[in-house]
Structure 1
Amino acid sequence: MTIEKFESIYQRAAERKGGEAQLEQLLHKPLSPQEIATIPDDRWLAAFTEKVFQCGISWNVVRKKWPEFEDVFFQFRIQPLLLQPDEAWEKKAQDPRIIRHLTKVMTVPANAMMINIASLKYGSFGKMVANWPSDDITGLWGYLKKNGKRLGGNTGAYALRQMGVDTFILSSDVESHLRNCGIIDSGRDTKRAQQAANKAFSQWKSESGRSLSEISQIIAYSCGDNRIL
């Protein structure tokens, strides 16, 4: 298997988007590790919760209700949430101000506990993420899946991207490209597929000097339905 050169992917994306200048304007760059390390624990929990609730429904529905989510869940402050008794969560799941879904509501205390444990060990959840090796970003996905709740698949990766973490995402366009190139040939969420994708992205990062986030976006713009009119 020969991995396509990144320059070829970039030029195809630029052609589809009307030129290099237009393509560059579309790219969102990640935060630095130093910036990631300063993000408070409550914002990580908020991001994870938002992505969990957005699964299976319109993202805009959740966004419109988000101020109420912040109120119901104490601005996602970890310690007050961990002190809540079990019956309080059932009550919150019935609150009309949020989307009433008990299973998703129960991810809040579970993911608060994950964040708290990491914070006690590393100083903050942000510090743990900031120091995670960039060449093993799928290892961080695995950590979220194993230690959190409902953070598998693309949910954890999308939350990380939202927070400014340098990660690629196996969106439908990116996954299709990797399959067409023979880089992955098993289920998207398998360890084998993720490690193969991680290896390819590390190679493209070395070739281009770009972040994983930028490379992921450029691949998506180079294929699929993301054409400029």
Structure 2
Amino acid sequence: MAREKFDQIYARAAARKGGDAALESLLATPLTADEIKAIPDSRWLAAFSEKVFQSGMSWKVVRSKWPNFEEAFFGFDIEKMLLMPTEMWERKATDPAIIRHLGKVMTIPANAQMIHEAALKHGSFSAMVADWPGENITGLWRYLKKHGQRLGGNTGPYTLRVMGKDTFIVSQDVEAYLRHTGIIDGGKDTQRSQQAMQQAFHAWQQESGRPLCQISQVIAFSLGDNRV
């Protein structure tokens, strides 16, 4: 099947959502590169950690306890995270004020190390993310998976989206669309599939002038259980 033009996808999504204005009201707007560069690196560690804990758990429960995480982990200050000995991490993982899960707690120092190493090369982790080209956004996904802990799958991309970096998301609806149209036919996390997705999204971006996040939202709204 030939790749659909973006205006065809948009028209279908708008019809399902009650018109162009209603659809536009649902679309996210990414931050500018300068706005991303202004984000302290501690906020990236907090965001990655929150998404790791939300994986397989109630997002509502994690959000309700997150102030306790901020207190327990000193606002996710990178230097403080790197100085904490293993015994302290093990004690933190038994704190009833947070969600007690040693494996997920231990991603915090690992991802702090990833952020620290990127900051040494780029000035800050935020600068690296801000300058990462959108035409290779799946390369940033792979970077997070390779150098971080538990940041594969949609965890890394969802964190990027939450933090304002422009990225598409391979949600269930988006994956279903990509498979139905033959853009991907193997595992969605393989490099071959990610390259095919990247090419398709880049083409839609060239057609529409829209950010990647809006393109993936429009695709998701164009099918699945999301009628008005």
- Cα shift readout 1:79-111 (whole Å, capped 9, x = no counterpart): 011000010010010000111000000000000
Structure 2 residue aligned with 1:217: 217
Q: Which amino acid aligns with 2:116?
A: N
Letter in 2 for 1:31: L
Instruction: Compute the displacement of 1:128 (Å).
Output: 0.3
Any idea what SS the aligned residue of 1:187 has? Answer: coil
- Counterpart-to-counterpart distance in 2, 1:145 and 1:183: 23
TM superposition shift of 1:50: 0.4
- Shift in Å, 1:152: 0.2
* CA-CA distance at 1:133 after TM superposition: 1.0
Name the SS for the 1:21 alignment partner: helix
- TM-align CA RMSD: 0.6
Q: Which residue of 1 aligns with 2:127?
A: 127
Shift of 1:188: 1.1
Letter in 2 for 1:67: P
Report matched runs for 1:139-218 at 5 Å. 139-218=139-218
How far, CA to CA, are the matches of 1:197 and 1:227 in structure 2? 25
Instruction: Name 2:21's counterpart in structure 1.
Output: 21
SS at match of 1:26: coil
For 1:67, what is the secondary structure of its paired residue?
A: helix
CA deviation vs aligned residue, 1:23-48 (integer Å, no higher than 9, x gap): 00011110011111111100000000
Where does residue 115 of structure 1 map in the other structure?
115
Equivalent positions of 1:101-112 (< 5 A) are 101-112=101-112
Give, in whole Å, the separation in 1 of the partners of 2:189 and 2:207: 26
- Partner Cα separation in structure 2 for residue 61 and residue 42 of structure 1: 22
State the AA in 2 paired with 1:46: A
Query: Where do residues 43-62 of structure 1 align in structure 2 (5 Å cutoff)?
Result: 43-62=43-62
Shift of 1:58: 1.1
Q: Which moved more, 1:136-145 or 1:25-34?
A: 25-34
Structure 2, gaps ≥5 residues long: none
Count, aligned residues: 228
What CA deviation, in whole Å up to 9, does each residue of 1:102-142 have, x standing for no partner?
Answer: 00000000000000000111000000001101100000000
Instruction: Confirm or deny that 1:72 pairs with 2:88.
Output: no
Residue number in structure 1 paired with 2:93: 93
Q: Which runs of 5+ in 1 are unaligned?
A: none
Partner SS, residue 182 of structure 2: coil
Distance 1:64 1:124 in 2: 29
Taking structure 1 as the reference length, the TM-score comes to: 0.99
Runs of 4+ with >4 A deviation: none
Q: Residue deviations 1:153-182, cap 9 Å, x none?
A: 000000000000000000000000000000
Q: 3-state SS of the aligned residue for 1:142?
A: helix
Per the TM alignment, residue 8 of structure 1 is displaced from its structure 2 partner at its CA by 0.3
CA positional deviation for 1:57: 1.0
Task: Kindly provide the amino acid, as one letter, of the partner of residue 107 in structure 1.
Answer: T
How far off its partner does 1:144 sit?
A: 0.1
- Between the aligned partners of 2:19 and 2:160, the Cα distance in structure 1 is 29
SS of the residue 1:173 aligns to: helix
Q: Look up the match of 2:8.
A: 8
In structure 1, distance between residues paired with 2:53 and 2:149: 12
